[in-house]
Structure 1
Amino acid sequence: MTRLLDPTAVRELAARLELRPTKQRGQNFVTDANTVRRIVQLAGVGESDTVLEIGPGLGSLTLALLDVAEQVIAIEIDPLLAEALPGTVAERAPERQHRLQVIRADALRVTELPAPPSIVVANLPYNVSVPVLLHLLAGFDSWRRGLVMVQAEVADRLAAEPGSKIYGVPSVKMAWYAATARIGSVPPRVFWPVPNVESGLVSIERRDPPQTTATREQVFAVVDAAFAQRRKMLRAALAGLAGSSAAASTALTAAGVNPTARGETCTVEQFARIAEQLHG
């Protein structure tokens, strides 16, 4: 059985590496074995899975994933942590170290992987969680499901439904790729350093995007414009894209959307229809 990291082991590893966690990289390391076991279980990781993990840090979640998965591809931007991770795995799970591949890179810039992942499971850095998720969804279509731990507020936004006050750009863009749901919470006390916010667990189930003649870029441009000033009616918010408020109203009406509606009421399918009318 793999020896998972506990609070003492995390601090000893950090001391050995002379590591000072930075807020800039959102470095908060999980110190609770039950939490990482729970994440792996909720993610439904199986023995045939190739898992893509972003920001493995000291290896708390990595070790739990290696306990189950066929392979773990871990992308780590911090050179100190990337170099240390294979040694931690060799020490605590020597019979599974061959299952780990560490890539020292910025997850936002990775375009190739050594193997196609079937699932993404990660404790995502708070400050880049949404851009990283959208990049992975756009760039790697082999993974059909995922489970990510993000700041609770971000978790709620990712899973928000139309009409909600927190429904916005992340909600719509995630809906283009997948069905998302907030399926749990993680308290600050299981991290070191202890963050001042709660974390949320978000499940991701890939699905086909809306059927549309508009490109994803065109649809996303409409989404960005609709929420740039979310208090504005759509006919005003989209005036820049359409050329005028009147042209925006015509396109919205043709798409079956009330020109006086606001972006927070529209589904991803409606945004796709609006983009079709603007670019048709």
Structure 2
Amino acid sequence: MIDAGTVRRIVRVADLSENDVVIEVGPGLGSLTLALLPSAAHVVAVEIDPVLAAQLPLTVADRGGLDKLTVVNADAMKITPDDLSGFTPTALVANLPYNVAVPVVLHLLEVLPSLRKGLVMVQSEVADRLAAGPGSKVYGVPSVKAAWYADVRRAGPVGRTVFWPVPNVDSGLVSLARREPPTTTASRKEVFAVVDAAFAQRRKTLRAALAGWAGSAAQAEEALRGAGVDPSARGEQLDITSFARIAERKP
């Protein structure tokens, strides 16, 4: 990312306080890191590339602020709170690699309950999917699972020319605000199993799509009716609360 205005915009929209501990994924050469340091209590930068991870402290040292930076050379998809040198992140701010953006966001929301908010830059289509609501053509597994953890919304577009080299896709900002998951007796894993089954064959009715999950189409229909859901509906019509009700009815 080579556009200073976009970097400042990301920090501004992230709405950080001087008490926030930021986790940044994929800091690369550090353009966003340098902008985050003055606005937060601390930045934990998770970088999988050992060469870039070694260089980042040197880059920051030249500009000041090294005392507020911790670099973790690790895969963000495998990170746990124990890997963060004792810091407890409250905000996620990152320009995420497009191919892993959704799993990284979902993983961090799962393993870091301290995260209260986030602002991530992702491919524009991914931003649409994460922020989509029921009934949208792009509403799917990422939309539903993200909604388990947070209120998710689009926070603006990002043009291609802010990057070098210039990618062949547009980007978008996605804002995340942590909230409590639906009140349910089902576990997150059980609810997500229903979500996965419902969208595995999204053209099918829920009665048919959930037959394997429930044991048969008849049992799926019984679970759906018990949850107050029309068996002829499709997954893209339901919100996360409805999926949680269905999960509670597993035979």
Do they superpose with TM above 0.5?
yes
In structure 2, the partner of 1:177 is 149
SS of match in other structure, 1:46: coil
1:243 alignment partner AA: G
Shift of 1:127: 0.3
Q: 1:183 and 1:107 mapped to 2: Cα distance? A: 23
1:239 aligns with 2:208: no
In structure 1, the partner of 2:74 is 105
SS of match in other structure, 1:204: strand
In structure 2, the partner of 1:17 is none
1:128 alignment partner AA: V
Q: 2:234 and 2:218 mapped to 1: Cα distance? A: 16
Q: 2:41 and 2:248 mapped to 1: Cα distance? A: 43
In structure 2, the partner of 1:53 is 24
**CA deviation vs aligned residue, 1:155-182 (integer Å, no higher than 9, x gap):** 0000000001100000000000000000
In structure 2, the partner of 1:9 is none
Q: 2:39 and 2:179 mapped to 1: Cα distance? A: 25
In structure 1, the partner of 2:43 is 72
Q: 2:136 and 2:93 mapped to 1: Cα distance? A: 27
**CA deviation vs aligned residue, 1:20-47 (integer Å, no higher than 9, x gap):** xxxxxxxxxx001111100000000121
Shift of 1:100: 0.4
1:144 to 106, 113, 116: 116
Structure 2 residues not aligned, in runs of 5+:
none
Counterparts in 2 of 1:144-223, with a 5 A limit? Answer: 144-223=116-195
1:88 aligns with 2:59: yes
How high is the TM-score relative to the length of structure 1?
0.88
Shift of 1:48: 1.5
Aligned length in residues: 248
**CA deviation vs aligned residue, 1:112-168 (integer Å, no higher than 9, x gap):** 222001111000100000000011000001110110000000000000000011000
1:131 aligns with 2:100: no
SS of match in other structure, 1:122: strand
Shift of 1:183: 1.1
Q: 1:265 and 1:162 mapped to 2: Cα distance? A: 5
CA RMSD of aligned residues (A): 0.7
SS of match in other structure, 1:35: helix
Q: 1:48 and 1:259 mapped to 2: Cα distance? A: 48
SS of match in other structure, 1:61: helix
In structure 1, the partner of 2:200 is 228
2:103 alignment partner AA: P
**CA deviation vs aligned residue, 1:172-218 (integer Å, no higher than 9, x gap):** 00000000000101101000121111100000000000000111000
Q: 2:245 and 2:188 mapped to 1: Cα distance? A: 12
SS of match in other structure, 2:249: helix
Q: 2:78 and 2:216 mapped to 1: Cα distance? A: 36
Q: 1:206 and 1:40 mapped to 2: Cα distance? A: 18
Q: 2:132 and 2:178 mapped to 1: Cα distance? A: 16
Shift of 1:67: 2.1
Q: 1:157 and 1:117 mapped to 2: Cα distance? A: 25
Q: 1:127 and 1:244 mapped to 2: Cα distance? A: 35
2:170 alignment partner AA: E
**CA deviation vs aligned residue, 1:209-233 (integer Å, no higher than 9, x gap):** 0000111000000000000010000
